[in-house]
Chains A and B, each alone.
Chain A
Amino acid sequence: MAGIGFQLTKLMQKRTLAGGLHAYGFAALIGSGPWVLSMVTLAALGLVLHRAGAARELDLFFVAVTHVFAFSLVVTGPLQLLLSRYTADAVFSKQDEKVFPSLLGSLALTLAVNAPLGFGFFVGFVPAPPLFQFAAAGVLMAVSAIWVAAIYVTAVKDYTAVVRCFAVGYAVSFIAAWLLSRSLGISGTMAGFLIGQLVLLLTMIRVIYREYGTHAPPSFAFLHYFKKHTDLALCGLIYNLGIWIDKPLHWWLSPHGFPVSGALWASPLYDQAVFLSFLSIAPGMAVFLLTLETTFAGHYSEFFRLVIERGTLREIVHTKELMADALRDSLARLLKFQGAFTLALVLSADRLLASLGLGAVQTLVFQVTLIGVCLLVLFLALLTVLFYLNKTRDALLCCAVFASVNLALTVAGLLADERWYGLGFTSAAAAGTIVAGVLANRALQRLEYETFTSIPLSS
């Protein structure tokens, strides 16, 4: 009997520690982090190239890149959380040698899926010069690979490395796109952008190689995780669908939407305002990452340390309460910070957007979606907490609510009129936040119950 008990304690230990790995929890945030960086650069590129003229042609470039982001994030969505979990488990179980081969394997898989998608879409359905078509397909493959590689860079735990890579990559993209556009026009812009993305991808792989490099062949062992952690894969897919679903709806259903070229659609009235408001996500996320890691994560590990290392029930419950306090505290701080920032932007929206040459309807959409983005930050924070608490099923439910509310209310808004634009996304973020808040609160309240009663009686 003694033997059984001992074995079970070990099992418990494995479960709780592996479940609590930080990198895994952060995946949800990382998914949008690099994306924000990309948007900032794109916006800057847009401004510079606009000044250089050729605005109409540039629209094609930006619409194509927007599609690239949408495709790449949705397609790699299922992989993101899954790979975070896989690398976290590998690193935790001291099997570092599994990391690099799985990077190669997941990159191969990503390229294998995106190559036909990219070439099929851009060559088959987008009338443009061949160089543009091929470069665009290349960008889709490169950007998808970048999302995957970013997960592994996070596993290196050098968060600034992610930022450094993006800075270098987008600087090259920016310069090359600008230089090549002068001789090759829009095809040059896309080709130059591709060069920078490839540089970004290679610098990321180099960072990972330095830490985990082996000469082992690519491994596809992570594919087992699709079966084991189906919830995670679905979470990634549905979250990214939820983030994007309102855009194509506006392209196709809004009276302002039109095909820019072939299958490439756009609705500048909506797109520009929404992308601009998404840029406001950055400061809130930085604050949340910081407070989460310093307070919540600390209490979180302390909780499981006490469970395993023979804390009393009172100590365990007390630590959980500290954890809940820390979470409430960082959410409140986040709301204050992001709220103030959002409020400032909402109030200055008129002048800000006028200076960018955008009109009154766009200002309204901008203001509405700014609030949505503020809520999205809270939603992401709560999702991260659910991942921490191993509540992937709950997280999946939140993502489903988020995506379906966005779908339904965006369609409803489009059937009404322009005053309702953007409310679909904002309501979806609000609904997601409420559901995630209720579920996270419940999960925290029941944490010790769940932690203990889910231990199997025998292994």
Chain B
Amino acid sequence: MSPAAKIADVCLVLEGTYPYVQGGVSSWVHQIVTELPEVTFALFFLGSTKEQAVKKRYTPPPNVISLTEVFLFERPPPAQLVPTPLTAAQRAPVYAALRAFYLAPDDAARDGAFWSVIDAFDAAEQAGAPFTFGNLLRDEEAWELLTEVCGRIAPSESFIDFFWAARFVHLPVWLALCARRSIPPARMYHSVSTGYAGLLGAFAARRQRTPYLITEHGIYTKERIAEISQATWIYDPRGRYFDVAEGMGAFKKMWINLFMFLGEVSYTGAHRIVSLFEGNTHLQIEFGADARRLEVIPNGIDPAKFDAALAQRTARLSGGLGEEIVVGFIGRVVPIKDVKTLIRAARAIITREPRAVFHIIGPTEEDPDYFDECKQMVALMGLEKKVLFLGPQNVREILSGLDVCLLTSISEGLPLIILEAFAAGVPCVATDVGACRELIFGRTAEDKALGRAGLLTKICSPLDTADAVLRVISSAENLLTMGRAGRLRAERHYRQVEIMGKYRAFYTDHRWSELSAPNSQLSTS
């Protein structure tokens, strides 16, 4: 496909996801572009290396009119490494802008200075004196600025490491900025993360004076911080084992500062910032988003698809509890899901409710060691007949056979399985992480009035988990009541068609963006 012959309704700015990488976010994007055929999309894919984008994992529908790819961790084009010979006078405005940016007294001043930097680069280019990355590598002004910044933020750190960190932190940003010229024109921009994608989304929307929308599934900045604090490729004089809260090496901080900054630029440039659930909005505010522009739009499902399972289950339970009470765990058997806590809870539950059996449903091959440990634990507790590893199953079919769904995850976003369980009328017991609280107890007052669709537990607490499960399965009546609340909640607040409707509205009627114009410094160019 040739890059946008005509202007798309929406340019989706995608960092390392659709259509080349499989995953939750990619499926979500695919769903959006497929279910809104009347909207035309231009895809702007930001990848790390070309290898990542060899094979498309999804086939975009015909309303996707262009796909542009940019790679940020490729070797830069040789021409970008050759400094343009510029006079001191030609360099001066760019370095004045860069100085204002790097030496800015506070975040607000810095964010404003950032756009002046971009404008200075553009002005230089229009004047026939384009800056290259080579200029930043070789110009004496750049060196002076670098040493000045080093004196400020890392005076007692190894300089060669500071030097390389500075180069490597800036190179992908530079390549992203180079890509600003190839952003397809569109009536609005929508990035499905902050980061480099957010930077370009904010830039494009600012330059073309169009609305800019961010949807975050996870919180990009937080995820990067977690990743960097564990990275071993960044030199850290304190060694690998340190507490994030206590601070970390200057070079890890440089990377973290970069991502925090990219987050801020994205947030302050956006007219609306969407997260999947309430909990994430707090993080977004923490990372620089304006609370007035936040909105929660969860993931959705089609409850009708679970009607059969719901009917079967209701019929089964109307005769009271059966000889077996089936507690289902649906998910990958990996440490983050904390299956071990589930097994320990199972032991406690069975002691008090011998009818309980546990079905562990989901792939087990991702972490074979962990799976082995889980199996050994089951054997050690003598639960081989009670805790069954069933492998991957068709969720819609098995849900009717479950009495309660149990999630022991240490961390979650908005788990789709809870929505699916609700649609099939299965109550859930889940740890109080991610969106679980608002799913099970309700988010708004009206939502809460629907009743509880299960219970919440503390993480890593087998006894708490056992108590909650026992309370939920205390009677068939309780199971049915909670199941009804869940089904209602899924129908009222998590319907896929309604969620698609919200995005359709975003895409086709831009009035929302006038109500929440971004920060003043962004609207003036």
Q: Are A313 and B140 in contact (CB under 8 A)?
A: no
Q: Are B164 and A5 in contact (CB under 8 A)?
A: yes
* Segment 123-164 of B: residues with Cβ below 8 Å from A: 133, 137-138, 140, 143, 147, 150-151, 155-164
The one of A1, A4, A9, A456 in contact with B160, judged by C-beta atoms closer than 8 angstroms, is A9
For A310, what are the chain B residues with a Cβ–Cβ distance below 8 Å? 158-161, 235
A324 to B17 CA separation, bound complex (whole angstroms): 54
Q: Are A312 and B158 in contact (CB under 8 A)?
A: yes
Q: Is the interface of B mostly helix, strand, loop or mixed?
A: helix
Known: A312-B159, A313-B151, A457-B76. A449 touches B140 (CB 8 A): yes
Give A contacts to B, CB under 8 Å: 1-2, 4-5, 8-9, 12, 307-308, 310-314, 316, 448-449, 452-453, 456-458
A2 to B75 CA separation, bound complex (whole angstroms): 14
Min Cβ gap A448→B in Å is 8
A455 to B171 CA separation, bound complex (whole angstroms): 15
Q: Are A458 and B160 in contact (CB under 8 A)?
A: no
Give B contacts to A, CB under 8 Å: 73, 75-76, 81, 133, 137-138, 140, 143, 147, 150-151, 155-164, 167-168, 171, 232-233, 235
For B158, what are the chain A residues with a Cβ–Cβ distance below 8 Å? 310-312
Known: A312-B158, A457-B76. A452 touches B168 (CB 8 A): no
For B147, what are the chain A residues with a Cβ–Cβ distance below 8 Å? 313, 448
Closest to A450 in B: B143
Known: A2-B233, A8-B164, A313-B150. A457 touches B156 (CB 8 A): no
Q: Are B168 and A312 in contact (CB under 8 A)?
A: no
Q: Are B163 and A312 in contact (CB under 8 A)?
A: no
Closest to A314 in B: B155
Q: Are B156 and A312 in contact (CB under 8 A)?
A: yes
A308 to B164 CA separation, bound complex (whole angstroms): 12
For A449, what are the chain B residues with a Cβ–Cβ distance below 8 Å? 140, 143
Q: Are B140 and A458 in contact (CB under 8 A)?
A: no
Known: A1-B233, A453-B143. A313 touches B171 (CB 8 A): no
Known: A313-B150, A313-B155. A307 touches B160 (CB 8 A): yes
Closest to A458 in B: B75
Min Cβ gap B398→A in Å is 43
Closest to A456 in B: B81
The one of A4, A5, A307 in contact with B159, judged by C-beta atoms closer than 8 angstroms, is A307
Q: Are B140 and A5 in contact (CB under 8 A)?
A: no
A131 to B137 CA separation, bound complex (whole angstroms): 64
Jot down 8 A-B pairs with beta carbons below 8 A, ordered by A. A1-B73, A308-B160, A310-B160, A310-B161, A311-B158, A312-B159, A314-B156, A456-B81
For B233, what are the chain A residues with a Cβ–Cβ distance below 8 Å? 1-2, 5
Known: A1-B168, A458-B75. A453 touches B159 (CB 8 A): no
A314 to B156 CA separation, bound complex (whole angstroms): 8
A45 to B157 CA separation, bound complex (whole angstroms): 63
A457 to B78 CA separation, bound complex (whole angstroms): 10
Top 8 nearest A-B pairs (CB, nearest first) are: A2-B233, A310-B158, A313-B159, A449-B143, A313-B150, A453-B138, A5-B164, A312-B156
Closest to A307 in B: B160
For A456, what are the chain B residues with a Cβ–Cβ distance below 8 Å? 81
For B159, what are the chain A residues with a Cβ–Cβ distance below 8 Å? 307, 310-313, 316
Min Cβ gap A382→B in Å is 23
For A458, what are the chain B residues with a Cβ–Cβ distance below 8 Å? 75
For B155, what are the chain A residues with a Cβ–Cβ distance below 8 Å? 312-314
For A1, what are the chain B residues with a Cβ–Cβ distance below 8 Å? 73, 168, 233
For A314, what are the chain B residues with a Cβ–Cβ distance below 8 Å? 151, 155-156
For B137, what are the chain A residues with a Cβ–Cβ distance below 8 Å? 453, 457
A314 to B75 CA separation, bound complex (whole angstroms): 32
A9 to B158 CA separation, bound complex (whole angstroms): 13
Min Cβ gap A14→B in Å is 14
A312 to B232 CA separation, bound complex (whole angstroms): 21
Q: Are A312 and B164 in contact (CB under 8 A)?
A: no
A90 to B233 CA separation, bound complex (whole angstroms): 33
Closest to A308 in B: B160
Q: Are A452 and B171 in contact (CB under 8 A)?
A: no
For B133, what are the chain A residues with a Cβ–Cβ distance below 8 Å? 457
Min Cβ gap B467→A in Å is 47
Min Cβ gap A429→B in Å is 32
Min Cβ gap A17→B in Å is 14
A453 to B168 CA separation, bound complex (whole angstroms): 14
A312 to B140 CA separation, bound complex (whole angstroms): 20
